[in-house]
């Protein structure tokens, strides 16, 4: 099981604006500290935090942050409408489009996805795969 994902950011305020445009709608809470941003799903009483957590931090070595070539973090939305809404919100908050919301021929008939880049260039996917919603062929 993946416990956490960390991306680097040179401008934490810009990163906060971008990620706060959609992660709270997916249930993530934000904690800010000297070491950056921590987004986590709520833990039930007596249980460990739900994995994975998502961190946005300055680089450890102090050199400029860079996006990994081929690296992407995907977040599951509650439905196709939420994918569209959060894609728009993320663009308005400083992200860039890497693929409009919709179906992709390479994936299953209900896999509805959009792709974004955060202000640092990290690739993000927002997706829904609900068989109860209209599919690619329907």
Taking only the tens place, the pLDDT of each residue in 25-62 is 999 999 999 889 999 998 888 888 778 999 999 999 99
**Would residue 110 count as lying in a domain?**
yes
- Starting at the earlier edge strand, list the strands of the sheet with 112-117: 72-76, 123-128, 112-117, 96-103
**How many domains does the chain contain in total?**
1
Give the Cα separation of 98 and 53 in Å (integer): 23
**Would residue 64 count as lying in a domain?**
no
Give the Cα separation of 81 and 72 in Å (integer): 22
In order along its 138 residues, the chain shows pLDDT tens digits of 788 999 999 999 999 999 999 999 999 999 999 889 999 998 888 888 778 999 999 999 999 999 988 999 999 999 999 999 999 999 999 999 999 999 999 999 999 999 999 999 999 999 999 999 999 986
Per the structure, the complete domain to which residue 40 belongs is given by: 4-59+72-128
**Would residue 133 count as lying in a domain?**
no
| The pLDDT of residue 137 | 84
- Token pair 């993946």 is found at 2
**Would residue 116 count as lying in a domain?**
yes
C-alpha separations of 113 from 71, 130, 131 in Å: 16, 11, 14
In this structure, what are the phi and psi dihedrals at residue 73, rounded to the nearest 5 degrees? Answer: -115, 130
CATH number reported for the structural domain that contains residue 93 in this entry: 3.10.180.10
Determine the 3-state secondary structure of 32 from DSSP.
strand
Describe the chain by its helix, strand, coil percentages, rounded to 5: 20, 35, 45
- Model pTM? 0.92
| The pLDDT of residue 1 | 76
Q: Is 83 exposed, middle or buried (0-12, 13-18, 19+ CB in 10 A)?
A: buried
Element holding 84 (H helix, E strand)? helix 80-92
């Amino acid at each position: 099981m993946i416990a956490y994902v960390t991306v680097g950011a040179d401008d934490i305020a810009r990163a906060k604006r971008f990620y706060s445009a959609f992660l709270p709608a997916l249930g993530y809470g934000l904690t800010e500290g000297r070491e950056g941003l921590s987004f986590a799903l709520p833990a039930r009483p007596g249980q460990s935090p739900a994995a994975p957590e998502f961190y946005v931090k300055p680089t450890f070595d102090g050199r400029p942050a860079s996006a990994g070539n081929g690296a992407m973090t995907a977040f599951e939305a509650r439905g196709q409408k939420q994918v569209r809404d959060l894609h728009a919100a993320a663009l308005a908050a400083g992200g860039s489009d890497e693929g409009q919301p919709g179906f992709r021929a390479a994936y299953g008939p209900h896999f509805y996805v959009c792709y974004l880049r955060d202000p640092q260039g990290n690739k993000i996917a927002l997706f829904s795969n609900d068989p109860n919603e209209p599919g690619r062929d329907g």
